Structure 1
Amino acid sequence: MVEHARAQIMAVGVDRFNINEVLRQAGGSKATLVKYFGDRTGLIAAAIGAEARSAMAELGFGTAIPLSMPLAEALQRVLCGVLQFYLQPGALSLYRAVVGSASSDPRGAAGFYHEGHAVVVSSIAQILENRKGRDVRRNIDSLDVADQLVHAIRAGLYERALIGLDSPSTDDAAIKCRISATLALVLPGLAIHG
């Protein structure tokens, strides 16, 4: 069910998500949906979580970012991948739908936040944790820094695409520029100097 829900959400968005179509494709029943996910909102949250974990796995978190790589280079690689993920049309559509329905469906918004944003943030935080004492100061709150990084990289390029001012672009040069600007602000307070 999760995979069918995930595919449908990325194709048509949350607002046009059809639970009956997911059940038909998965060969499941409403009783199974209730047993494992509670309701439509629970299944959507599970699908968002699967999408976020898949995107982070594709970025090679934990395997493609060796500790020997300089901190700036490691964060550049990771954050470029994260921003490319956020700029995908399906991800933009999902974010718009969740924000648009947040006041009428706070459980859906909470599910999106915990299964989407929090998965991305915790993946970045783990990279920082693994580097503490090597090239990252020990006294930082990795989750807080990772959260700030994710919000900072979405400024400008992502925000303009999100609200429809610009077409979603995964132009590597523009993404690298956004990440470099963010890292220029953040690295001095994050890195061990010496």
Structure 2
Amino acid sequence: MTDAVPPTAKQLAAQARCAAMVAHARAQIMAVGVQRFNLNAVLREAGGSKATLAKYFGDKTGLIAAAIGEEAREAMAALVPVEPARGQSLEQTLQQLLAGVLRFYLQPGALALYRAVIAMADQTEHAAAAGFYAAGHGAVVDAIAHVLTSPPAALSPDAARAMADTLTHAIRAGVYERALLGLEPLPVADAAIAAQVAHTLALCLPGIIAAQG
């Protein structure tokens, strides 16, 4: 087997600029949302250029999608256990995971981001909305599916992803929808989050158990 060729200094510098662009884009998106996103400010702060943007991200929409995806993946990595705690049931594992997912969605920055993307869904930046859905929602679904393909659930990949998609939508009913509309004061109480998790599992857990067979 041929040893991998180490990256050149130029490649390392480009990687560092890309990482900086994503980091500054994440910070700006969570602070002001997508509609007020200022690409020139990101490029200036990151030391990048429009040529670098075009080469590695395509355009502003690609950078926004990359930033949203990293935000979601990082949040989910902190929530998803490498393997379930010893003696923990599937229900307990999902209770812990879904509570964390709902807290992530209820962050003021995440709520502001979702509102901004919904507002632009029918406008010229429709691709940004699609990127948000694929990167943000997709990262959450992937994380939940990872848990469902592992013991004790051990579902097939297709079944796990279908169930994860259902869980992700169900957990955003009720308290999250009210918070999104400004009808639920923040921060949302732990009791309300626990209640939403319980309702979601009451609806979905029987289907997950049935899929194990």
Same fold (TM over 0.5): yes
Q: Is the 8 A contact 2:99 2:193 kept in 1?
A: yes
Tell me the equivalent position of 2:167: 149
Q: 1:139 to 1:93 in 2, by over 3 A?
A: closer
> What amino acid sits opposite 2:102 in the alignment?
L
Cα root mean square deviation, aligned: 1.9
Percent identity over paired residues? 57
Deviates more, 1:182-191 or 1:142-151: 182-191
Q: Which runs of 5+ in 2 are unaligned?
A: 1-20
Deviation, 1:65, is 3.1
Q: Which runs of 5+ in 1 are unaligned?
A: none
> What amino acid sits opposite 1:186 in the alignment?
C
1:69 maps to which of 88, 99, 107: 88
Residues 40-189 of structure 1: matches in 2 within 5 Å? 40-59=60-79, 61-63=80-82, 65-66=84-85, 68-104=87-123, 105-131=125-151, 134-135=152-153, 141-189=159-207
Deviation, 1:3, is 0.3
Q: Is the 8 A contact 1:46 1:115 kept in 2?
A: yes
Q: 2: distance between equivalents of 1:164 and 1:21?
A: 30
Q: Is the 8 A contact 2:145 2:157 kept in 1?
A: no
Q: Is the 8 A contact 1:56 1:123 kept in 2?
A: yes
Q: Does 1:21 find its partner at 2:56?
A: no
Q: Does 1:3 find its partner at 2:23?
A: yes
Tell me the equivalent position of 1:30: 50
Q: 1: distance between equivalents of 2:108 and 2:153?
A: 35
Deviation, 1:190, is 1.5
> What amino acid sits opposite 1:177 in the alignment?
A
Rg larger for: 2
Q: 1: distance between equivalents of 2:188 and 2:76?
A: 17
User: Which structure is higher in RCO with an 8 Å CA cutoff and minimum separation 6?
Assistant: 1
Deviation, 1:170, is 3.5
Q: What TM-score comes out, normalization by structure 2 length?
A: 0.83
Q: What TM-score comes out, normalization by structure 1 length?
A: 0.91
1:57-115 Cα shifts (integer Å, max 9, x gaps): 121x1426337420000000000000000000000011111111011222111111111
